[in-house]
Amino acid sequence: MANPLIRRYQYPLLRPPQVWIYGIIYLSAVALILIVNLMFFAKETILVNEEPWKLFRNLHIQFAIFQFILLWILAPYNVSTVISGEMLQKSYDFTRLLPLSARQKIAGIVMGRNLVIFFMAAVNFLFFLAFGLAGQLSLPILAEWVLFLLSISLLFCLLALLMSMHPTKKRGNFFVPMLALIFCFGFPYFLIVLHESFEGKTANVLFYCWQIPSLLLISGFALYFAGWASLGGLRWFTKEYDPLFSPLGAIVFLVLYLVLVLGLFYPYFLSQRSMESYPERIFFGFWMFGLIAVGLLPVGARKTYEKYLEMSRLCSPSKLSVCWLLRRSNLMLAAVLYLLWVCFCSYACWFGPIPISLFLVFAAVMGTFFCVLILLFETSITLSPVYPKLGYLTGFLFILYLFLPYILAALFEIDFLTAFSPLGYFNYAYEHYKEGMPVSPAILNIFFCLMPGRLVLLRYSQIVTMRKGLSSDSPLTVAAS
């Protein structure tokens, strides 16, 4: 076995005293499915003369659910427990120090930890395909199903690994929130697809101008995100204290993400031209999807205070300044991401009936909300070494900023007050865009930016002063200069 980590998991998983237990559980489950279905079928045949292909299709669906449990729940769960378990056991330092490449570590953990699960899933796929074919399902539909199950499983496994692996925090098992996520977003769709599968068809979705089977499209999206999750894993296994996204990575992710989302909205933009009432509202959906990414990416790509110190260490003291730091800061990245979103959405406006000026006003005001939030975030990052609990305060302010306008609006019965919250503004603009976008919240936001902005600049200045003091005769700095 080329990957030592796979072999490491192979030892405890495949010990003869426990392999037979896994075997019996699996065989019992399969036998139970077969026996119960056969009994039901025998009963139904007597009552309503059921056709045999329906039995096979039923079995096919039940094996799909079996795969769902194995590949979407158990496999990611196993992966999510590896690092948290080792941290708890205090053996993680040994794993961290193993001179294996990040790729070997990811493959070793995902494959090694799930050797038994994947073996069962492989056998299950045989049943799944055999019963599907016997149930008169076409081969392309079955292939789409296999791709769908595998790609989502890969995504979940990689996400589970990523969520469990940051070394600076002793994290617990993140599988419970992940399970909730799976059930909220995955399971309802899975049931719809199952139902369609039972009918022997899959729905097609328009992506730009192409009709693509929905399973294939979802698999594509899952693989896209899985690709990024694996890049994140590679990054955290090699540069453990770096942010999940490099600045360039965050930009590329956003651009590709917007291209993908635009592909989903594009047909609607075109069809909205012919609609009479509120044709522009579909654009808000596109804007919202983009804004979600723009809001989350700076969190994933955040540089910590230690990272700022490390960056500034590599800069020659003569070049090091607040401007230098600002150009490489979280603020600058957030601004670039926001501008990218504005450019993309402006471009998308050409496809539909929405005036670009309307969007630009909306984007400008939303930009001031974004500034406040990002400055709060940066304040928390840069000052947390001095005030370790500052995150609680900024978190509280963040919640206040989101929801206080709603409370005030309800209290004074003035609907417009909700526009002073970022969420409320989006909603207000969505409801009232025909009357023009309100701009007054921007003034208040600029005022809100002053204090955190000043604190952040002051902190940058302190970093510069401290680094210059520290590195006055540091050999490394001399080399860099």
Partner 1 sequence: MQVLQTQRLRKEFGPLVAVQDVSFSVEQGQVMGLIGPNGAGKTTLLRMLATLLPPTDGTAVICGADLYRQPLEIRKRIGYLPDFFNLYNDLTVFECLDFSARAYGVPEKKIADRIDRVLECVDLTDKKDILCRHLSRGMVQRIGLAFLMVHDPDLYLLDEPASGLDPIARISLRNILKRLSGEGKTVLISSHVLSELSGFCTHIAIMDKGVIKKFGSVEQIQAMLNPERIVRVVVLDEPQKAVSLLQSFPDAVLKDCSGNTLRLTFTKGPETIARLNALLVSEGVQVIELTEEKKDLEDLFVAISSEEESLPHSFANAGS
Among 21, 47, 97, 411, binds partner 1 (CB under 8 A): 97
Among 69, 100, 311, 455, binds partner 1 (CB under 8 A): 100
Under rule CB under 8 A, residue 414 binds partner 1: no
Among 46, 90, 276, 413, binds partner 1 (CB under 8 A): 90
Under rule CB under 8 A, residue 122 binds partner 1: no
Under rule CB under 8 A, residue 89 binds partner 1: yes
Please choose, out of 8-16, 136-144, 418-426, 454-462, the segment that lies near partner 1 by the rule CB under 8 A. Answer: 8-16
Rounded Cα distance, 450 and 442, in Å:
13
Among 52, 188, 355, 385, binds partner 1 (CB under 8 A): 385
Under rule CB under 8 A, residue 170 binds partner 1: no
Please choose, out of 6-14, 119-127, 182-190, 444-452, the segment that lies near partner 1 by the rule CB under 8 A. Answer: 6-14
**Nearest approach, Cβ of residue 314 and partner 1 (Å):** 9
**Nearest approach, Cβ of residue 2 and partner 1 (Å):** 10
Q: Which is nearer to partner 1, 309 or 356 (CB)?
A: 309
Under rule CB under 8 A, residue 11 binds partner 1: yes
Helix axes 214-238, 139-164, angle to 10 degrees: 30
Burial class (CB in 10 A: 0-12, 13-18, 19+), 97: exposed
Please choose, out of 34-42, 147-155, 224-232, 384-392, the segment that lies near partner 1 by the rule CB under 8 A. Answer: 384-392
Angle among Cα 293, 299, 304 to the nearest 5 degrees reads 155
Among 14, 27, 43, 91, binds partner 1 (CB under 8 A): 91
Q: How far is CA 403 from CA 55, 417, 422, in A?
A: 53, 11, 9
- From 119, 90, 148, select the one nearest 10 (Cα to Cα): 119
Q: Which is nearer to partner 1, 1 or 414 (CB)?
A: 1
Under rule CB under 8 A, residue 432 binds partner 1: no
Under rule CB under 8 A, residue 4 binds partner 1: yes
Q: Which is nearer to partner 1, 21 or 411 (CB)?
A: 21
Q: Which is nearer to partner 1, 124 or 471 (CB)?
A: 471
Rounded Cα distance, 247 and 258, in Å:
17
Give Cβ neighbours of residue 362 (< 8 Å, ≥ 6 apart): 287, 429, 433, 437
**Nearest approach, Cβ of residue 478 and partner 1 (Å):** 11
Site string for partner 1, 312-351 (x = CB under 8 A): -x--------------------------------------
Q: Which is nearer to partner 1, 46 or 97 (CB)?
A: 97
Rounded Cα distance, 422 and 367, in Å:
10
Please choose, out of 138-146, 151-159, 197-205, 303-311, the segment that lies near partner 1 by the rule CB under 8 A. Answer: 303-311
**Nearest approach, Cβ of residue 229 and partner 1 (Å):** 22
Under rule CB under 8 A, residue 171 binds partner 1: no
**What is the number of other CB atoms lying within 10 angstroms of the CB of residue 133?**
14
Under rule CB under 8 A, residue 17 binds partner 1: no
Rounded Cα distance, 453 and 442, in Å:
16
Site string for partner 1, 232-271 (x = CB under 8 A): ------x--x------------------------------
Angle among Cα 166, 168, 172 to the nearest 5 degrees reads 60
Under rule CB under 8 A, residue 388 binds partner 1: yes
Type of residue numbered 263: G
Beta bridge partners of 204: 213
Instruction: Report how many residues bind partner 1 under the rule CB under 8 A.
Output: 32
Q: Which is nearer to partner 1, 28 or 461 (CB)?
A: 461
Under rule CB under 8 A, residue 49 binds partner 1: no
In this structure, the strands spanning 210-213 and 204-207 are: antiparallel
114 in helix, strand or coil?
coil
Give kind and range of the element (H or E) at residue 269.
helix 247-272
51 in helix, strand or coil?
coil
Give kind and range of the element (H or E) at residue 211.
strand 210-213
Q: Which two tokens stand for residue 420?
A: 């002073």
DSSP state of 416: G
Each as own residue / partner, the long-range contacts of residues 119-125 (CB below 8 Å, 24 or more positions apart, any chain) are: 120/22, 120/26, 120/70, 121/67, 121/70, 121/71, 121/75, 123/26, 124/63, 124/66, 124/67, 124/70, 125/67
Rounded Cα distance, 344 and 339, in Å:
9
Under rule CB under 8 A, residue 23 binds partner 1: no
Please choose, out of 32-40, 182-190, 206-214, 378-386, the segment that lies near partner 1 by the rule CB under 8 A. Answer: 378-386
Rounded Cα distance, 342 and 360, in Å:
8
Sign of CA dihedral 296, 298, 303, 305: negative
| Contact footprint for partner 1 (CB under 8 A) | 4-5, 7-8, 11-12, 89-91, 93-94, 96-101, 238, 241, 306, 309-310, 313, 384-386, 388, 470-471, 474-476
